[in-house]
Homo-oligomer: A and B are copies of this chain.
Amino acid sequence: MAKKLNIGLFGFGCVGQGLYHVLSNSKGFTANITRIAVKDKNKPRSLDAGIFTFDKYEILDNPEINVIIELIDDADEAFEIVKYAILKGKHVVTANKKMVAIHLKELYELQENHNVSLLYEASTCGSIPIIRTLEEYFDNEQLNKVSGIFNGTTNYILTKTISEKISYNAALKQAQEKGFAETDPTSDVEGFDPKYKAVIIALHAFGVFAKPEEVLNLGITTLHENDIKYASEKGYKIKLVPTVKQTKGSVSVFVLPKFIRHENPLFFVDNEFNGVIVEGEFSGEQFLKGKGAGGHPTGAAVLSDISALSYDYKYAFKKLNQLQKNKVSNDVFIKAYIRFNTAIDLDVLQATQVYEQYTSENYNYVIARVNILDLLAQREYILKNNLFISEVGEEINSVPVKTQDNEAALKAVI
């Protein structure tokens, strides 16, 4: 039978309020939120003041509370709370992707050593049950790749700028008004948020701990009208696509924009929706789509984790145990569209193996072969010089047409 859960909640924003409402009204549950820790002493609240506390230890040190739900923004403070709770033997549900990704190995060890369950479905792709599906359904299947659209904010902005031809700033403003984007959108638009999710997925799909700082994230801040025009002419949509893939025990993880065509199911994932493609050796291509941003989808994922806790569920990390030889390596090449200013840019990125090149008075681009490690090393350079880089749909199998000749020709032109 289901176990009785006494829950201490941290954070009472829109997800927290929705959760409280659902848990109070659901018959299926034997879970109660008994205390709620909040920060702002002056904010009016919808519940009786007695349930709130401003002292986190009133919850963390309360032996009657056996589950902590952590829904605050600050990743450092969240980690303190979660770590303390685990050390106290409490189970934890969190939606904080940054905190989970940065401390993934330590959190894994903590929950193993203290025999508690730490669940974080809500941290990754909103309402799509991707962590659970990887853990429980693909646990014995050899996976080759997991990719997708993991960030609702940027997908909303890209949809509006590309399909509806409105400006980047207008689209960002709309996203903020709809509650999909934060006041400071850096984490989304520069691709940090989907990177954290890719790091979490890398553990559950391929059994590796990738450090966020060794994972490339290029976002959409340097996207220009000319890039959109190029993509549209070629029948592409531009999406921000994290990729986690495995080749002979080497796992690469990177996030950058990607040109995709209608054969790719992500082509039809628009607005605030997220989509995940799981490529299995045996099962073929699986595609999952659901809402990626907003309080309700996140709340649904948290709810599902709470429900799992009541049945003593715990991630088994089977891939970590099976694939002990897997290693993170981002020394991989991709085929990319690079909008650049001068030939120096291409030298800096070591993008000298060129499939196509275009120069004009307005702008220049190449389709070239580049190494993820080179892009990672030059991330600041790329942003400072306003270059736009996008993976081109097809995987690299062919040898580029580059020769000394066309390289020299390219330099001569620019």
Q: How far is the CA of A300 from the CA of B139 in the complex (A)?
A: 11
In the complex the two chains form, is A141's CB within 8 Å of B303's CB? yes
With known contacts A265-B268, A322-B27, A139–B307 Cβ distance under 8 A? yes
Cα–Cα, bound, A272→B18 (Å): 40
Task: Provide the residues of chain B in CB contact with A290, threshold 8 Å.
Answer: 283-287
Please tell me if the beta carbons of A280 and B300 are within 8 angstroms of each other in the complex. yes
The chain B residue with its CB closest to the CB of A275 is B287
Residues of chain B within 8 A (CB-CB) of A282 are 18, 22, 296-297, 299-300, 303
In the complex, A133 Cα to B307 Cα: how many Å?
A: 13
- Interface size class on chain A is 35 or more
Check A286/B289 contact, CB under 8 A, given A29-B140, A132-B136.
yes
Complex Cα distance A22/B299, Å? 38
Which residues from chain B contact A139 at a C-beta distance below 8 Å? 28, 304, 307
Residues of B within 8 A of A127 (CB): 280, 283-284, 286
Distance between A19 CB and nearest chain B CB, rounded to angstroms? 10
- Given A291-B283, A307-B140: A318 touches B28 (CB 8 Å cut-off): yes
* Contact between chains at A129 and B140 (CB < 8 Å): no
**Contact across chains for A296 and B311 when beta carbons are under 8 A apart:** no
Q: Which of A103-146 contact B (CB under 8 A)?
A: 127-129, 132-133, 136-141
Copies of this protein, total: 2
Residue A308 interfacial (CB < 8 Å): yes
B265, A283: Cβ atoms under 8 Å? no
Residues 247-287 (chain A) with a chain B CB within 8 angstroms: 265, 268, 280, 282-287
Q: How far is the CB of A83 from chain B (nearest CB, A)?
A: 27
Which residues on B sit within 8 Å (CB–CB) of A265? Answer: 268, 289
Asked if B308 contacts A296 (CB within 8 A), the reply is no
Known: A27-B322, A265-B268, A322-B27. A283 touches B307 (CB 8 A): no
- Docked CA distance A46–B354 (Å): 49
Could you name 22 residue pairs across A and B whose Cβ atoms are closer than 8 Å? A27-B322, A28-B140, A28-B322, A127-B283, A128-B286, A133-B133, A136-B304, A138-B304, A140-B306, A141-B304, A265-B289, A282-B297, A282-B300, A283-B296, A284-B291, A284-B297, A286-B289, A287-B287, A287-B288, A287-B289, A288-B288, A289-B289
Binding site for B on A (CB under 8 A): 18, 22, 26-29, 127-129, 132-133, 136-141, 265, 268, 280, 282-291, 296-297, 299-301, 303-304, 306-308, 311, 316, 318, 322
